[in-house]
Homo-oligomer: A and B are copies of this chain.
Amino acid sequence: MLDICLLGTGGMMPLPYRWLTSMMARCEGVNLLIDCGEGTQVAIKEKGWSPKPIDVICFTHFHADHISGLPGLLLTIGNCEKTTPLLIIGPKGLERVVNAMRVIAPELPFEIQFHELRENEEVIDFAPYKIEAYKVSHRVTCYGYRISIDRKGKFDAARAKELDIPLKYWNKLQHGETITDGDITYTPDMVMGEARRGIKVNYCTDTRPVPIIADYAADCDLFICEGMYGEDEKEENAKEHKHMTMMEAANLGKVANPKRMWLTHYSPSMNKPDEYIDKLKKICPVIETARDGWSVELGYEEE
């Protein structure tokens, strides 16, 4: 089971009743956060989730509305007596930016490990998550993230019997171990079916609607995407500042065909994101104008 919460839906600046855009994931007791603007730690508490065991933070880019809440969150995590390392992932310059901001949070009871993204696309394994980062198109270097929980194939008991594999090895093979018994070697692929559909969430803000976003959002369980402006006449504005309109996001959704799609990162000038929903649903029927604190529990498909 993967729990996802869209902690906030704002862009540029935090507002009363609208936190800055940020997403939290929980799976098997390991917590992941994407972006941390001013107030994100309050949004976590408001939702009733705990900042205690945040294990990995992914930054899309270093504009203040996506990272300004980091020093406060680090101190709050420290006050929760975390002692295990925290992994922070982000574009080139990550360590320099985070260390500069830590002028007001110099002492922490846990280690910070950095993973600076250097390639256009990277994969980071952080069990149980597979984290895929892909470069998008903003005024500064910016990445989208796809967070996946992979799922193994089914164990084929009939095949195991056929191959005379002793029962005592079945469990180990199911967990991916290779076993050598005298001259014989048993490998998981002998008894495991093809990997089944896992869970995939794609998260992307602060970019023009480049095709790679739809590639990563294809067939996802949830696609969280920037929809900064609603009015048609704001498209020029979006182009100039390298943001995305709701209609542009809907067109990405149409191509990607995710199971669910949530818009976020609304301009402070947008009072009622719902206003545009009918028009958007004509392009992408599963699209929704998300609100702060929306969450969903994503499970494997029945099989």
Give the interface of A toward B (CB within 8 A).
Answer: 12-16, 37-39, 41-42, 45-46, 62-65, 67-69, 71-72, 75-76, 79, 96-97, 100-101, 103-105
In the assembly, what is the distance between CA of A13 and CA of B97, in Å? 22
Q: List 11 A-B contacts (CB under 8 A).
A: A12-B79, A13-B41, A13-B76, A14-B72, A16-B42, A38-B69, A39-B42, A64-B71, A67-B104, A68-B68, A97-B103
Is A38 touching B100 in the complex (CB atoms < 8 A)? no
Q: A38-B41, A65-B72, A67-B104 given. 16 additional CB < 8 A pairs?
A: A12-B79, A13-B41, A13-B76, A14-B39, A14-B42, A38-B42, A38-B68, A38-B69, A64-B71, A64-B72, A64-B104, A68-B104, A96-B103, A100-B101, A100-B103, A101-B104
Task: Knowing A64-B105, A97-B103, A104-B68 are in contact, say whether A75-B13 is a contact too (CB < 8 A).
Answer: yes
> Chain B residues with Cβ under 8 A from A13's Cβ?
41, 72, 75-76, 79
> Chain B residues with Cβ under 8 A from A96's Cβ?
103
In the assembly, what is the distance between CA of A45 and CA of B39, in Å? 14
Is A42 touching B63 in the complex (CB atoms < 8 A)? no
Going nearest first, the 7 A-B pairs with the smallest beta carbon separation are A100-B103, A16-B46, A64-B104, A38-B72, A100-B100, A68-B72, A14-B42
A27 nearest CB across to chain B (Å): 25
Q: Find A39's partner among B39, B79, B104 (CB 8 Å cutoff).
A: B39
In the assembly, what is the distance between CA of A79 and CA of B45, in Å? 29
In the assembly, what is the distance between CA of A75 and CA of B66, in Å? 13
Q: Find A64's partner among B37, B67, B75, B100 (CB 8 Å cutoff).
A: B75
> Chain B residues with Cβ under 8 A from A15's Cβ?
42, 45
> Chain B residues with Cβ under 8 A from A42's Cβ?
14-16, 38-39
In the assembly, what is the distance between CA of A14 and CA of B76, in Å? 10
Q: Which of A46, A68, A96 counts the most chain B CB atoms within 10 A?
A: A68
In the assembly, what is the distance between CA of A103 and CA of B75, in Å? 19
In the assembly, what is the distance between CA of A74 and CA of B127, in Å? 39
In the assembly, what is the distance between CA of A286 and CA of B258, in Å? 61
> Chain B residues with Cβ under 8 A from A79's Cβ?
12-13
Is B104 touching A103 in the complex (CB atoms < 8 A)? no
> Chain B residues with Cβ under 8 A from A65's Cβ?
72
Q: Which of A67, A79, A103 counts the most chain B CB atoms within 10 A?
A: A103
